[in-house]
Structure 1
């Protein structure tokens, strides 16, 4: 088996994105802040925008449901960039090393189509990717098998004869890796950069 392409998830692998980074500034009490993010601006709600719902509609619907939290809800996307603390250096180091070794690189990320342009404009390492599948642009989301099929089709634009088993996917969410493996991909559950690098080398990827 030869790995001919590496597909990266972004959040938790290459980017330190976390709503806590913003809401620590807005809600001082730890328990109150945690309650808000677990019950109002939840990850499930954010995922709806990652899956293609507009930020305006997502915000409007949540404020309608919880009008007493309007200001805090409005801040989620108005100040979204404050949740994106920056790159995760160890993960980006793996990306840079693979790029230097001429490994074809691709992205597959659950990310809103409206906020992803900010990342493109501000993080030059994204230029290492030959192509990037953004869930909000396709209105598909991991772990839906359809988004993996879309990603593999994109890889095949550059490597027409590549097989699923020759692609390795790196993601920090175990369920997303399980979905890729079920479709015949190789998968690495990203727990640490050290373990991911070791697993890539076990798969024969030299960098």
Structure 2
């Protein structure tokens, strides 16, 4: 029986960083402009890769001065960024577990903000046998090491795994280490892709 390996953000949990900064700006356009100025995406990827929040804030202040100030509230406001589950995905995961599949997860998620995920979605701790968190491991998808960490830590074979992620690059990363992989575009499409593999 195949093991199913889920991504979390945008597959099970919707993530939108803008609400974390709403208190600092007048409107959504101003937030987006600021995020572009401080290269929020690049900054956040380094956080996901294992940099601490203290280190990240220091780097942002050095690069952007006072313009980096809204980042100081990011961890406190992080629950606002993950307020909603992705429709239909949890039901699929639950049904797979009930059918006897072993469930795992690999997520690009900062170590400092990971506790908010466990508080907001406590089922994560019982639904999955193991969750590999990039910020804890110091590894990022689509680097081979993060997939191999899951494989080695749990004594499973990559060709026994189906990996699900919304990122094309991460899907290719999983395939590169020998996993089957599905790019997530929505819960109904996922059901169909699993059904094509004889699952569900």
TM-score, normalised to structure 2's length? 0.92
The yes-or-no answer on 1:31 pairing with 2:29 is yes
Would the alpha carbon gap of residues 78 and 106 (structure 1) be closer, same or farther in structure 2, given more than 3 Å must change? same
- 1:51–1:141 Cα contact (<8 Å) kept: yes
1:51 aligned partner:
49
Q: Distance in 2 between matches of 1:52 and 1:23?
A: 22
1:108 aligned partner:
106
Q: Distance in 2 between matches of 1:171 and 1:196?
A: 10
Query: Where do 1:102-141 residues align within 5 Å?
Result: 102-126=100-124, 127-141=126-140
Query: Where do 1:50-69 residues align within 5 Å?
Result: 50-69=48-67
Gaps of 5+ in 1: 157-161
Aligned residues: 199
* Corresponding residue SS for 1:53: coil
Q: Which moved more, 1:52-61 or 1:83-92?
A: 83-92
Aligned-CA RMSD value: 1.6
Q: Distance in 2 between matches of 1:77 and 1:129?
A: 24
The yes-or-no answer on 1:198 pairing with 2:192 is yes
Gaps of 5+ in 2: none
Q: Distance in 1 between matches of 2:70 and 2:63?
A: 13
- 1:21–1:85 Cα contact (<8 Å) kept: no
Q: Distance in 2 between matches of 1:163 and 1:73?
A: 40
